[in-house]
Structure 1
Amino acid sequence: MKPKLSAYVSESVAQRLELAARRPGTNKSAIVDAALDRFLNPERDTSGDAALIRRLDRMSRQLERTDRDLGVLAETIALFIRYYLAITPPLPSQDQDAARALGRERFEMFVAQVGKRVASGGRLVADVMDRVSASKPDLFMRNVEEGAPLGADQPSDTGSRSHTAAGEPPEPSPARREEVDNV
């Protein structure tokens, strides 16, 4: 024997309950019982909400990975541009036309390679991250506790180098710094 329950509901809920109970194979008690069970036990939800939550969790993890990949990509590009601008000397005016032609040719090759990679579905960032994490799993976590810059593994004992321990280029000359700042 089931316990009897009396409850007050709003007029609109009562009307919808009445309409739902008119369907064949159901009654008010069964509808209220299922609704209360679902409300009080969301883990036992059989309507698909649990599947939707799992899907949303999976999408959230994918977005987190994408965000991480974009962060790595942005840092990589920024460091490359900074390094390139800091070390590339200005060309004499007589060599600039040949350099522009070579630059256009290299850029066309670059665009073709990117197009080929995108068309094949390959992801260079993911490939690089997989290789790095397989060969040096703690690379991105070194010295984080101490607040050291990423990649600043150990002080260099090879004497004076052209790069700092954090992988940054040397300071450009004052004239070159002005050119870099004006770009």
Structure 2
Amino acid sequence: MVETKVYLPGEVVRALDETARRLRRSKSEIVRAAVASYLSPDGPEALEAALSRRLDRLSRQVDRLERDLTISNETLALYVRTWLRNVPSLAAGDDAAASDLARERYARFIDALARRLSAGKLLRNEIGSDEAGAAKGET
């Protein structure tokens, strides 16, 4: 090893002291690693590759979220359109009975939904990627 003298600004020396104390390493070891990393020819390329992989993974996750959201929106819209088309309006005196029936039907719906989710049956798994692409306006 060769001894060398380096002049550092006060804030860098304080940060080096704190890091050495926190990591329980010598200041020489920390400076040696920092200089080696700085001079490493493939350091920036490795960092860029790691960032690129992470961005690709995030992009795929966003694509899946967009697909799932599109499926959810279209499913809800189709259901509402069908319901509005097929369910007649209530007579004024039928409100109480309709409310009771609605509560009962809603409870059954929630139970069915809970059973489906606990069994791992997801709508997105039933829909092929071609249908999802068509739902997003792709051909």
Give the TM-score band, short-chain normalised.
0.5 to 0.7
1:54 CA displacement: 7.1
Secondary structure of the 1:138 match is helix
Counterpart in the other structure of 1:170: none
Residue 129 (1) aligns with residue 121 (2): no
Structure 1 residues without counterparts, runs of 5 or longer: 45-49, 154-183
Matches within 5 A, 1:17-166: 17=16, 20=20, 26-28=26-28, 30-39=29-38, 41=43, 43=46, 61-62=60-61, 64-93=63-92, 98-118=97-117, 120=118, 122=120, 124=121, 127-133=122-128, 137-142=129-134
Structure 1 pair 67–142 and aligned structure 2 pair: CA distance change class (3 A): closer
CA distance, structure 1, for counterparts of residue 8 and residue 95 of structure 2: 82
What number of residue pairs does the alignment pair up? 131
Higher helix share: 2
Q: What is the one-letter code of the residue matched to 2:126?
A: R
TM-score between both structures, scaled by the size of structure 1: 0.47
TM-score between both structures, scaled by the size of structure 2: 0.57
Secondary structure of the 2:33 match is helix
Counterpart in the other structure of 1:12: 11
1:94 CA displacement: 6.1
Instruction: Please give the per-residue CA displacement for 1:112-135, whole angstroms capped at 9, x wherever unaligned.
Output: 2223344x263x4xx3322322xx
Instruction: Please give the per-residue CA displacement for 1:32-74, whole angstroms capped at 9, x wherever unaligned.
Output: 2211333451538xxxxx6xx9789757754553443233212
Secondary structure of the 2:8 match is coil
Instruction: Give 4+ residue runs of structure 1 displaced > 6 Å after superposition.
Output: 53-57
Identity %: 33
Counterpart in the other structure of 1:161: none
